[in-house]
Structure 1
Amino acid sequence: MVFAAKINAQAALRARLTLSAALLAFTLPALPAHAAANLTPHRAVYDLSLKEASERSGIESMLGRMVYEFGGTACDGYTVSFRFVTEIDTGESVRITDQQTSSYEDIRRHTFDFVTKSYVNRGLDYEVKGTARLGDDAISVEIEKPEEQSLALPQALFPTEHLIELINKARAGETFYESRIFDGSDKADEALITNTVLGEKRKADAADPEIAGIETLALRDYWPVAISYFSDTPTGDGVPVYSIQFKLYADGITRDLMMDYGEFALVGKLSALEVLASEPCDD
């Protein structure tokens, strides 16, 4: 995604569109990580639209779709497949962007494999691929693409552990906390600091059009969540790289997204949800 000289929107989106798939894809209490949350394998589809854009952004309109598929167990590890497609109109041109991310996280061995490919108008614009491992005092990252590189980063949680942490904090009634996450996004060379604000558990509004026809969510409670992501580099200016708001369910499903990139913001409404089969984790 390239905007004429006003903002490099491709870098902004590529950096944080995974919601840490996550978006969403979120220190743990005394329980071991694999026992701390019962995450539901699922495939969620979100319809995206432009909430607002500054004049500097050069964006006149923007729409798209995001597909997020989460699977696996604590025994076998967790997988995420994520695709984010947008059509961006700058008034002078229309660009189609397509980000495709897949990852595998073993929360027992604290390893994380990731690959992200970003396309612009069907042409490959950027690819990053690598493996990260959490050690006693740092994360070691081995990047294979775009070029081989070895990095040592501050300790951080990988996406599924970060999500488990978030759910545990919400269950405990905490309203604000700080953490750090590594999700392999952008150049995979940084662990970001996260500031999270958690609201009290709420009941869904039966008249909410987003959950109409989605029986698995209609009668369930959720927490409103807001997360801001900050650079941990010396050149960081204290302004979030990216921020997101959403409704979170206790099994890791999310909806009603608002993603703020500074120069523009998107909303994502859940349009389809499929709960996927999975084998129970015996251990």
Structure 2
Amino acid sequence: MHRAIRACVMNAPRWRGVCMGAARMVTAGMAMGLVLGLMPPARGAETPTPLTPHRAVYDLTLQSVSGGQIVSASGSMTYVLSDACSAWSTQQELNLQTASRSGVQTEIRTDYAVLEDKDGGHMVFRTHQYGSGVTEQKISGEATMTATGGQVRYTQPGVSVVPLAAGTLFPVAHTRAIIAAGRAGQATIEPVLFDGTTEKGAIDTFIVLMGWKPPPAQTDIPALAHLGSVATHVAYYDHATHDMPPDFDIGMRYFENGVSDRLDMNFGEFRMRGTLRTFTPLPAPHHCSVMVTPHSP
């Protein structure tokens, strides 16, 4: 989730003044089974709650600055998860405005879309970043995974093929892995992620989980209050420089149905808070000829 925010920074130039100087930022059948197989549910655990198709709108507000050029930042993000029978459809739109000490204003927009097979074997992706003060960039293609690995075939910005290691997760599978680890009481996990926001293929993630919280939850969204949740911290690393500081990190509270209501985004020069403004469940499809159920955590 929230890949567009990470993509915004990962694909932008280093921000000098307005949009320059922040750190770079925004989850197979068998591949998902391999990772989740390392995280068995606790004994006596109930059947995991299915992911909820939904539309969520977040307000983004400046939380703090750390001595860089950015003095103000605001924005919004819309995230939509739809059930497309044998696949998950994810759409995310980010609109971020910043202002620098010298008065330069920048607007960054990122549109992100993914169609991910529920069995984890195939994914189609598209990322489009544009706005004032940033270089327009498009990344698109498709990825495939098998038990022994996979590959990405990029069609934009250029045609290329990049291998994926066995166990690499696509975005929704990555979210499911986080929730499964939280339910199992794990403290950390390190799944490899391919989400289509960079031309370099997969990225490393290191996730800290701060304890599963049973319901009721304190939340402004009544539809989520009866669900269990886990607070997480996700750090994203370039696969080639994993020992270096992360490209981006984000704190989130995930509910067991895959919805997040709190975001804490570290852009390097500044931090932003994301607050869930509206949450709308979406209907499940009624006329699927074949329904594919992902491996249970």
TM-score w.r.t. the length of structure 2 is 0.79
Following superposition, the deviation at residue 119 of structure 1 comes to 1.1
Decide whether the 8 Å contact of 1:63 with 1:87 is kept in 2.
yes
- Seen in structure 2, the aligned counterparts of structure 1 residues 271 and 109 have a Cα distance that, compared at 3 Å, is closer
The 3-state SS of whatever aligns with 1:101 is: strand
Higher mean alpha-carbon deviation, 121-130 vs 160-169, is at 121-130
Which protein has greater RCO, CA pairs closer than 8 Å, 6+ apart?
A: 2
Q: Which residue of 2 aligns with 1:102?
A: 113
Alignment deviations for residues 125-146 of structure 1 (CA, whole Å, 9 cap, x no partner): 1111110111343331110011
Structure 1: gaps spanning 5 or more residues = 21-26
- Size of the aligned set, in residue pairs, is 261
Alignment deviations for residues 41-91 of structure 1 (CA, whole Å, 9 cap, x no partner): 0000110012222223x1010000010000115x42000010000111113
The 3-state SS of whatever aligns with 2:191 is: strand
Q: Which residue of 2 aligns with 1:71?
A: 82
Q: Counterparts in 2 of 1:149-168, with a 5 A limit?
A: 149-155=160-166, 156-168=168-180
- Seen in structure 2, the aligned counterparts of structure 1 residues 123 and 197 have a Cα distance that, compared at 3 Å, is closer
Between the aligned partners of 1:151 and 1:38, the Cα distance in structure 2 is 32
The 3-state SS of whatever aligns with 1:199 is: strand
- Alignment root-mean-square deviation, CA: 2.7
Higher mean alpha-carbon deviation, 133-142 vs 41-50, is at 133-142
The 3-state SS of whatever aligns with 2:211 is: coil
Q: Which residue of 1 aligns with 2:5?
A: none
Following superposition, the deviation at residue 151 of structure 1 comes to 1.4
Q: Which residue of 2 aligns with 1:223?
A: 230
- Seen in structure 2, the aligned counterparts of structure 1 residues 122 and 7 have a Cα distance that, compared at 3 Å, is closer
Between the aligned partners of 1:239 and 1:167, the Cα distance in structure 2 is 25
Structure 2: gaps spanning 5 or more residues = 1-11, 28-34, 40-46
The 3-state SS of whatever aligns with 2:36 is: coil
TM-score w.r.t. the length of structure 1 is 0.82
Following superposition, the deviation at residue 112 of structure 1 comes to 1.0
Q: Which residue of 2 aligns with 1:264?
A: 270
The 3-state SS of whatever aligns with 1:161 is: helix
Between the aligned partners of 1:122 and 1:138, the Cα distance in structure 2 is 38
Q: Counterparts in 2 of 1:82-231, with a 5 A limit?
A: 82-91=92-101, 92-108=103-119, 110-121=121-132, 125-155=136-166, 156-187=168-199, 189-202=200-213, 211-212=219-220, 214-231=221-238
- Seen in structure 2, the aligned counterparts of structure 1 residues 30 and 221 have a Cα distance that, compared at 3 Å, is closer
Between the aligned partners of 1:158 and 1:9, the Cα distance in structure 2 is 29
Does 1:29 pair with 2:40? no
- Seen in structure 2, the aligned counterparts of structure 1 residues 139 and 36 have a Cα distance that, compared at 3 Å, is farther
* Identity between Structure 1 and Structure 2 (%): 25
The 3-state SS of whatever aligns with 2:190 is: strand
- Seen in structure 2, the aligned counterparts of structure 1 residues 44 and 82 have a Cα distance that, compared at 3 Å, is same
Between the aligned partners of 2:18 and 2:223, the Cα distance in structure 1 is 43
Q: Counterparts in 2 of 1:29-68, with a 5 A limit?
A: 29=37, 38-56=50-68, 58-68=69-79
Following superposition, the deviation at residue 249 of structure 1 comes to 0.7
Decide whether the 8 Å contact of 1:37 with 1:167 is kept in 2.
no
The 3-state SS of whatever aligns with 1:165 is: helix
Matched letter for residue 28 of structure 1: L
Q: Which residue of 2 aligns with 1:274?
A: 280
Matched letter for residue 228 of structure 1: A
Following superposition, the deviation at residue 243 of structure 1 comes to 1.0
Higher mean alpha-carbon deviation, 272-281 vs 177-186, is at 272-281
The 3-state SS of whatever aligns with 2:55 is: strand
